[in-house]
Structure 1
Amino acid sequence: MSLDFSGQNLAGANFSYADIQGANFTNAMLTDANLCGANLCGANLCGANLCGANLIDVYLRNAKINESTKIDSKWRLVWEIVNQGSEGQNLSGADLSGVNLCRVNLCRADLSDANLVGTDLYNADFSYANLSDANLSGANLSGADLINANLSGANLSGADLINANLAGADLINANLTGADLTDVNICNTNLRDVNLSTTNLSGIDFSYENLSGANLSDANLSDANLSNADLSDANLSDANLSDANLSNADFSYANLSDADLSGADLSDADLSGADLSYANLSDAQINEAREIDSKWYLVWEIISQGFEDQNLSGADLSYADLRNAYLIDANLIDANLSGAKINESTKIDSKWLMSSLGDCQSGI
């Protein structure tokens, strides 16, 4: 049996996260009541006074509201969206933060500059919607349909995008730092200049995607598929790219300083002009036809093949990661080891170590 609160004075009452679906609040006084997270599905709110009530994350599906219901404009708009749909509607700049819009139809809606911080958008339909410059920080977009949506400049930091469909979406200049992209579909997505720093992207498929100019610093891309991706001018400093598939990718002029490329497949990738200072190249796959500066190719050879008894006189090994390198009996006369990383596992004659110690990052 549904609860009957009709005509009652419930000002300031606490109904937070209560299951009161189908309850009768006709003409009830609910001013300043706490209804945060409450389930009001099918509830009768006709004539009720909800001014100042906390309706964050409240579920209003099939709730009854009429013209005499006193409710803040934000929540009346939420009720309209939930119960009437807003396909193609102009909601530009709307404040929809902290509301429950799960499974709503916002296909082709204009939500540019909208405030959707912390909003529950589970399984919502945003296909072809305009979300440019919208703030979706911390929003729940798991399972959401964002096919061909315009998310350029949007703030998606910390958002839950698990199983979301971003196929064909425009994410140019979007902020996705700390977002959960587990099992997300990003086929044919424009990720140019996107901010994915510190984000866990392990195992994600970025093959053939446009990530030029993207910020992927400190991102976890271990085991990711970036084959044939455009990462030109991207910032991958301190990124974890271990065991990633980077074949045929464009890393021209990318920042790969301090990146972990151990075990990565870099066959036929373009690394021309890339900054590989302190990059870990151990067990990386690089072929002779590579577009890579001769300095870093030499560093890779030293790390992967060793240079025992080899002539490295005059070689530029500055700022190279030479930890675990084998350089016993190598000729390092006039070699530049300034700033190179050398530790106790580096096999190098003490003669060269002592002569260059002041310029090396010893023990790092």
Structure 2
Amino acid sequence: MMMIGIFWGINYLVKKAGFPVKIWLGILLFLGCLYLPTPTRAASQRQLEQLEKTGQCAECNLRGARLAGVELRGANLKGADLTDADLGDAKLEGANLEGANLEGANLKGANLFRANLKNAKLNESGLTNANLTNANLEKATLKQAILEGANPENANLKEADLSEANLKNAQIKNADLEKAILKSANLEGGSLEGSNLKGANLEAANLFRTNLKGTTIDDATKLDSKGQPVWQLVNKGAAGETMVGANLSGASLQSLDLQKANLQRVKLESAYLFIVDLRGANLSGSNLTNASLLYADLRGASLAGVDLAGAELKNVNLEGANLKNANLKNAKLGEKVLLESKWRLVWEIVNKEVEERDLTGADLEGANLQGSSLKRARLSNASLAGVNLKEANLREANLFNADLRDANLQGAILEWANLSGANLKGANLEGADLSKVNLCGAIMPDGKQQSCQ
């Protein structure tokens, strides 16, 4: 459109101003050249053939080259331009790619074992599931690179720039990341076990379920407010009061000895706890919603008031654990979960709607049964002291002689329920539906006995 405008402008000037046509045509040709798109330098066919025959192609132009699955073990590609090249599944073990430009290149599944990528440009490149074991990536730039599922184990990533890189599920074990930039990088589900993080910048990095065990940090390492306590717990343990109320949500806690640790009110939402020894630990008031507890030992642990909603428990030992007022709603009890009969019954009540359940004489003291369906349940002589029955459905339930001292019945449905002889001293009945309820002989919240008139 711009060139058309220029043409009509020149045509006007030729007619009105009398300038020679040849001069104006020369100007038009010059301007046209300025607006022509500059062609991208494609890979040199001659250099491609050279690479194939000799494995030597330093400083070569290989832009956009199709080299997927090609055998390039030990090849010399130092300083080569491989921008946007397809090297998917290429065999590049021991290859020299120092200073090469691989921006936007596809290296998915490529084998770069012991490859030299020092000072290489890999911004926005695709390295999904690539093998980077023992590779040299010192001072390489990998901004916004995709390394999901990649294996840079024992790699040299010293001073590498991995800003905003996707390292989800990447295994970066025993790697040297000294002074590396991992700002806003996604390390979800990956492992940094045994790696050197001295002076590394992990500000705003996603460390959801990232294994930090055995990592080395120093005063120059930048970890956000969540990453610091996770590193502390994983590598130094829960000494004193340092972990009380700590935010460990999404943390990866594997093979840890946390016996008798004080972890009160700790946030462990969606955390991954694998082979963790928590015998006798104090986790009261902690949040474990949607956490995964696999092969965890919680014998004798205090889990009073713990929120386990949506948590996954497999091969977990909870014998002797205190689950008073713990929220077990939607908790997933998998195979081989050792749980005392009282708390297993509580779990069944809050997760399975069964009308007319026979709970005569049951010991449910201190249980969290909030919102449970206990319609027409038989609860005569049951021990329900301190039970949370907020908004529970107890319509037509038989609670004859039940112990409901200090129970929370706020907003509960007790229509047509039988509470004769029940002890409700200190109970909270605010907003409860007491229509047609039988309170004959019951001890009311104020300690006075209800008449039977």
- Give the TM-score category using the shorter length: 0.5 to 0.7
Q: Which structure is higher in RCO with an 8 Å CA cutoff and minimum separation 6?
A: 1
Partner of 1:225: 156
The structure whose residues are more often helix, as a share, is: 2
Tell me, in whole angstroms, the C-alpha distance in 2 between the residues paired with 1:169 and 1:218. Answer: 23
Give 1:220 shift: 1.2
Tell me, in whole angstroms, the C-alpha distance in 2 between the residues paired with 1:274 and 1:91. Answer: 37
| Higher-Rg member (1/2) | 2
Please state if 1:200 is matched with 2:131.
yes
State whether residues 201 and 220 of structure 1, in contact with CA within 8 Å, keep that contact through their aligned partners in structure 2: yes
Q: Deviations over 1:46-99 (max 9, x none)?
A: xxxxxxxxxxxxxxxxxxxxxxxxxxxxxxxxxxxxxxxxxxxx99589x8xxx
Compared with structure 1, are the counterparts of its residues 349 and 317 closer, same or farther at alpha carbon in structure 2 (3 Å cutoff)? farther
Moved more, 351-360 or 168-177: 351-360
Q: Deviations over 1:112-166 (max 9, x none)?
A: xxxx9xx982524433333222221112223433233221111101112234332
Give 1:357 shift: 4.8
Q: Deviations over 1:176-218 (max 9, x none)?
A: 1222223433233211122112111111111111112111111
Q: Deviations over 1:216-272 (max 9, x none)?
A: 111111111111111111111111111111111111111111111111111111111
Give 1:328 shift: 3.7
Equivalent residue for 1:265, pick from 196, 218, 226? 196
CA RMSD of aligned residues (A): 2.9
Partner of 2:63: 132
Structure 1 segment 78-227 matched on structure 2, within 5 A? 92=42, 106-107=46-47, 121-227=52-158
Give 1:353 shift: 7.6
Compared with structure 1, are the counterparts of its residues 289 and 329 closer, same or farther at alpha carbon in structure 2 (3 Å cutoff)? farther
State whether residues 43 and 63 of structure 2, in contact with CA within 8 Å, keep that contact through their aligned partners in structure 1: no
Compared with structure 1, are the counterparts of its residues 191 and 91 closer, same or farther at alpha carbon in structure 2 (3 Å cutoff)? closer
Give the match's secondary structure for 1:299: helix
Partner of 1:244: 175
Give 1:347 shift: 2.3
Compared with structure 1, are the counterparts of its residues 150 and 222 closer, same or farther at alpha carbon in structure 2 (3 Å cutoff)? same
State whether residues 77 and 95 of structure 2, in contact with CA within 8 Å, keep that contact through their aligned partners in structure 1: yes
Tell me, in whole angstroms, the C-alpha distance in 2 between the residues paired with 1:330 and 1:147. Answer: 53
Give the match's secondary structure for 1:271: coil
What stretches of structure 1 of length at least 5 have no aligned partner?
1-89, 97-105
After TM superposition, which residue ranges in structure 1, 4 or more long, deviate above 6 angstroms? none
Give 1:308 shift: 4.1
Compared with structure 1, are the counterparts of its residues 323 and 180 closer, same or farther at alpha carbon in structure 2 (3 Å cutoff)? closer
Tell me, in whole angstroms, the C-alpha distance in 2 between the residues paired with 1:309 and 1:168. Answer: 49
Tell me, in whole angstroms, the C-alpha distance in 2 between the residues paired with 1:355 and 1:273. Answer: 25
TM-score, with length taken from structure 1: 0.63
Partner of 2:250: 319
Give 1:287 shift: 1.8
Please state if 1:295 is matched with 2:226.
yes
Tell me, in whole angstroms, the C-alpha distance in 2 between the residues paired with 1:286 and 1:238. Answer: 21
Q: Deviations over 1:294-347 (max 9, x none)?
A: 211111110111114424333211110122334444443332111111234232
What stretches of structure 2 of length at least 5 have no aligned partner?
1-39, 296-453
TM-score, with length taken from structure 2: 0.51
